[in-house]
Structure 1
Amino acid sequence: MEQTERTPEQRAGYWRGIGQVGTQHGAVGDADEPALWPGGASAYIVVTTPHSGIVATDGLSDSGEGGGPGLGVELYVEGRELVSGPMGEGRWLTGVLEEAAGALAGAGESLGRALADHAVLSLELSDEHAPDGWASDGRLGALVGVELPGRPAQFPVDDATVRVLTVVPLRPSELAVVRAEGAAGRARVAEGLAGQGWHSYADSTRPAVV
């Protein structure tokens, strides 16, 4: 079996270990920059757990022209608002994920270097889908890579590893901390999320943790 076949199978196996996996679907918006994905097209899957819904990228780790597992990552967003799927109450979270996917796909090789240097990354996205009280100066912040205890954060493909990274939208006060403090601010917000039991779960009702 070639790597082009093994990577999707390993990825599917990862998600089967998390919950019930739905069918693959395309983007619901136009911010995910599909031409920059390793295979030249974007795709997503929905995973349902007993307490939450997940929308995940399905192809950022596919083999590109240079071989290997693409960008070496997949992204996902998770919360109770996604239990009904990507277009229901959690539509805003789907938008956040797709825009984050486009931003990281555009980062190319620099993404791997950033992940090697930092445990958690941050992004500033548009406020197109942000609920009231979440945007700051037309921007919505997000952390990438906040860990959820007990859930594997990677899966192997041959001699490589694909990281499975969470995307967590930020409240304006949290984004302000990240802007002001950089890596230390990202760590402080991540610690606040963990301290209040949110970890990587996203919810429009979540209060600020800093």
Structure 2
Amino acid sequence: MPGLRCWVPRGVYRPQTDSQLLRRALHRERIAHGSDVLDLGTGSGVLAVEAARLGGRVVAVDISWRAVLAARCNALLNGQSVRVRHGDLTSPVRGRRFDLVVANPPYVPAPGDSPPRGVARAWDAGRDGRLLVDRVCDAVPHVLRSAGTLLLVHSHLCGVDRTLERLAGAGLRADVVERARLPFGPVLRSRLGRLRERGLATGDTVEELVVIRAEHP
């Protein structure tokens, strides 16, 4: 990511187009100095570091110990203060409220229902790709302050309208603020047949990524 030093060990999600989209949306939020920011599923921690550079007081969470290590190292490499916690989504910050929550959860439809193992934990998210997306939608309203904001990125393959409806059902005002189209990568190409069988993909092999912005009233 431009302007950042980034160490990414094997098994930790490497920043890609979705990370860049979130970074762009993050800059539009005009984070005030001292704003409380939560980065869910921080991975390498680059978005947490960027939020800290913009003045936020950042807590980053990941269930992977490798990701926790990477995020801590990348905060140090970039001279930023980020509190990195190990745990499942919002469980390490239970009882706290934030002005901004950023989330880039795994969202790739997986071949089966078994929990992902190994490096696939960084991208696999159940048969419809919504295993983590739905949990983020349900959990975030409980950690957002009034007028707080969620920035959530995922693929069109797991249902943009479903996410907007779920967030609305949780009492948030949600809309798409960023879009990017890109060719299927190696993982999606290898699963194209299964995706077509499930109706998640057609003849097109272009993926659309979206950033959804949801605001707590």
TM-score, shorter chain, exceeding 0.5: no
Calculate the TM-score normalised by the size of structure 1.
Answer: 0.28
Calculate the TM-score normalised by the size of structure 2.
Answer: 0.28
